[in-house]
Amino acid sequence: MKTIDELLAEGVSGKRVFVRADLNVPLDGTTITDDGRIRAVVPTVKALADAGARVVVASHLGRPKGAPDPAFSLAPAAARLGELLGAEVAFATDTVGESATATVAGLSDGGVAVIENLRFNAGETSKDDAERGAFADRLAALADVYVGDGFGAVHRKHASVFDLPARLPHAAGYLIATEVGVLKKLTDDVQRPYVVALGGAKVSDKLGVIDHLLEKADRILIGGGMAYTFLKAQGHEVGISLLQEDQVPAVLDYLKRAKERGVEFVLPVDVLVSDEFPDLKTKAPANPTTVAADAIPADEEGLDIGPETRKLYASKLADAGTVFWNGPMGVFEHPDYAEGTKAVAQALVDSPAFTVVGGGDSAAAVRILGFDEKAFGHISTGGGASLEYLEGKTLPGLAALED
């Protein structure tokens, strides 16, 4: 995989460099609530601009249905990128139309432009190779060189991620190089004990990674909504908690295999419950109660791990050599259910281990709960991409950069 440093050594002054970034940031209207992904691409964009390239930044945002939708415009992300760069960033109001063509043509050496949301064009995500390829052809006309730096999208076989690199000289940006280096430490160069903390809503989202980690990890901690399917598999009442009944057989198999392989599976011993889901907008007090994990009332739902589980999980993380954490322990967006996620994050901060926060909601939680990002070994920008890499899958966006 060619690196951006090699590309810079060859010279990029005056060349149009297409940077496939991941600017898929959360928005409250037009206000960005977490700019972590934008900050992550700044080193690549700045290095190219400083070298005299004419930088064309492209990304998706949200899930528009292949047509323009103002709610998913990249305009706020473009403005924030300009603030972070300390330079003007031009913005094209389409992807490959008149505005994009004119905006790119108007760039001078060292200039930066962002084109509109790639998913406003149905060709970006099409499963039809010809349709996707036709869109990639039009994107290729905007550039001379391709730099892949949108790690959060490399697990997608999309036009700008998979097809476009085949049409242009290409290299990996700093973010992708960093992400891949970190993930190799979680697969090929693991310092033990290797402890994995998994949370989030659904067991089904983590099936592949759990299956693969049973061969790699020494200890797996389970929290979040997915914990209740594990508790159900053990025969416990879970009330109206989030439950994937169809995944109980798979969970039973994981528990059996873990025992056979000597992998320690750690489940909550107590949980915070309530008879109603909290209001995440007003943050009104929820007044949860704490019950043993095997004594959840039939008319209540678990919304966070309890105080004894927090202590237990902290102790299970304390002696780790490597930690990978993906998925919050509860409804961290509400202060009454944030303590479980906060406890796991603090345990990673306190640990001397190499700690990796696996993107998605975990990365958002770290920032929302006020932790210093530098206190962790690495905070990934790609939750889904990280999980698929750890499953051992071939990621289309990485494969496209290798030649």
Binding residues for substrate: 22-24, 37, 60-63, 119, 156
Burial class (CB in 10 A: 0-12, 13-18, 19+), 353: buried
The Cα–Cα gap between 105 and 54 comes to: 9
The Cα–Cα gap between 123 and 130 comes to: 9
Catalytic residue among 36, 173, 199, 360: 360
Annotated binding site for ATP: 206, 302, 333, 359-362
The Cα–Cα gap between 51 and 22 comes to: 22
Annotated binding site: 22-24, 37, 60-63, 119, 156, 206, 302, 333, 359-362
Task: Give me the amino acid identity at 305.
Answer: I
The Cα–Cα gap between 357 and 378 comes to: 6
DSSP at 149: -
In what side-by-side order are the strands of the sheet with 301-305? Answer: 289-292, 270-274, 301-305
Q: Is 257 a residue of the active site?
A: no
Q: How many residues does the chain have?
A: 403
- Per the CB < 8 A criterion, the answer to whether 325 and 356 are in contact is yes
The tokens for 41 are 């691409």
Q: Is 37 a residue of the active site?
A: yes
Give the Cα-Cα-Cα angle 83, 88, 93 (nearest 5 degrees): 100
CA torsion 323-327-331-333 (nearest 10°) is: 90
Catalytic residue among 15, 16, 20, 37: 37
The Cα–Cα gap between 199 and 201 comes to: 7
By C-alpha distance, which of 89, 180, 167 is closest to 133? 167
Q: Is 202 a residue of the active site?
A: yes
- Per the CB < 8 A criterion, the answer to whether 63 and 119 are in contact is yes
Catalytic residue among 202, 257, 311, 367: 202
Helix, strand or coil, per DSSP, at residue 86 = coil
Q: Which residues are catalytic?
A: 37, 202, 360, 384
